[in-house]
Amino acid sequence: MILGIETSCDETAAAVLADGAKVLASVVASQDTIHAPYGGVVPELASRRHVEIIVPVIRKALGDAGVSLADLKAIAVTQGPGLVGSLLVGCSVAKSLAYVGRVPLIGVNHLEGHIFAAFLQDPSPAYPFLALVVSGGHTALYVAREPLRYEVIGQTRDDAAGEAFDKVAKLLGLGYPGGPVIEQTAKSGDPKAIPFPMAQITDGAPDFSFSGIKTAVSLHVKRNRPLSAGQVADIAASFQATAVKMLVRKTVRAALALGVRRIVLTGGVAANKALRAALQVEAAERGWEVFIPPPALCTDNAAMIAAAGHARFQAGERASLSMNAIPDMKLA
Ligand code: KG4
Ligand code: ZN
């Protein structure tokens, strides 16, 4: 039994996992209402809120699972990447609990956590696989040829995809977080209404870029103000369709180039139904396997951290009590 703790950004989360894949409890306390007035995460407010609720969140997870500190084989905590103030709260609490309970501690990379969300499902991916990790802070393709080893294949050169959803939502006055509200608004819009540009990476690298489409949306909004509800829906739908196309196209190309036939789609943006469906269609045409965690495990949670922690624990990894948050921690 492993306790997972996640506080890298604006969700305070704790989960208890049994045998590496059985989620006994998963508690996620969202801070959306705190950050919504600012249209994005305010780091200082995020860390303060983590401090206030991390202990109740952990208590609730242990209570839901019906276990106590003494039942835990290990404590896994997100060590990075993320906001330093936020990460420090989780790391401090995890270290304290590990010390008091004499339980081994494991530092987990948040991005590996997102990938391990796919291992909470049955079937889980075999190796090798290509993972598109697409969240508010990251957009990258990794190939995992063997367990616990990753190679970066491509990444965003500017904004993360989730960041683009959040910024476009802000431009359209739709609120925060942008992903879910863009998805909702797009339902009544025409995805072909506005031909937003697809980013071209001229050196041929399998990288992403989302700043161009964000600027295009911004210009389009300025030129057409005031926007009717129908125009807002069309912009949301057209933006979403273009972002999805860019993500899927690069992923398919990378998989073809690598000869990999298994794809993991994960991270907050992977909760998006249009993206899930588009990747599934492309993969089905080629006979590839696709692994997409359920939406609640795509966005930040601690079950995925416990899952990655379990794998690292099995591999013999332990963190010392002097471990520290690493805001720019790399996966590959
Ligand atoms: O993985 P996550 O919860 O946190 C980070 O590690 O960043 O991802 C949050 C991001 C936000 O940018 C949010 O707008 C986006 O994921 N997101 C979505 C959807 N749900 C969340 N983007 C598109 N469609 C969604 N349904
Ligand atoms: Zn995340």
Span from the CA of 297 to the centroid of ligand 1 (angstroms): 11
Residue 39 pLDDT class (50, 70, 90 cuts): confident
Does ligand 1 have an atom closer than 6 angstroms to the CB of 80?
no
Q: Which domains does the chain have, with CATH numbers?
A: 2-116+297-314 (3.30.420.40), 123-292 (3.30.420.40)
Q: Which residues surround ligand 2, an ion (CB under 5 A)?
A: 135, 300
User: Does the predicted model carry a pTM greater than 0.95?
Assistant: yes
- Span of 15-29, 37-51, 198-212, 251-265 with lowest mean pLDDT: 198-212
Q: Whose CA is nearest to atom 23 of ligand 1?
A: 179
Span from the CA of 320 to the centroid of ligand 1 (angstroms): 32
**HEC sequence for the chain:** CEEEEECCCCEEEEEEEECCCEEEEEEEEECHHHHHHHCCCCHHHHHHHHHHHHHHHHHHHHHHHCCCHHHCCEEEEEEECCCHHHHHHHHHHHHHHHHHHCCCEEEEEHHHHHHHHHHHCCCCCCCCEEEEEECCCCEEEEEEEECCEEEEEEEECCCCHHHHHHHHHHHCCCCCCHHHHHHHHHCCCCCCCCCCCCCCCCCCCCCECCHHHHHHHHHHHHHHCCCCHHHHHHHHHHHHHHHHHHHHHHHHHHHHHHCCCEEEEECHHHHCHHHHHHHHHHHHHHCCEEECCCHHHHCCCCHHHHHHHHHHHHCCCCECCCCCCCCCCCCC
Q: Whose CA is nearest to atom 19 of ligand 1?
A: 179
Residue 249 pLDDT class (50, 70, 90 cuts): very high
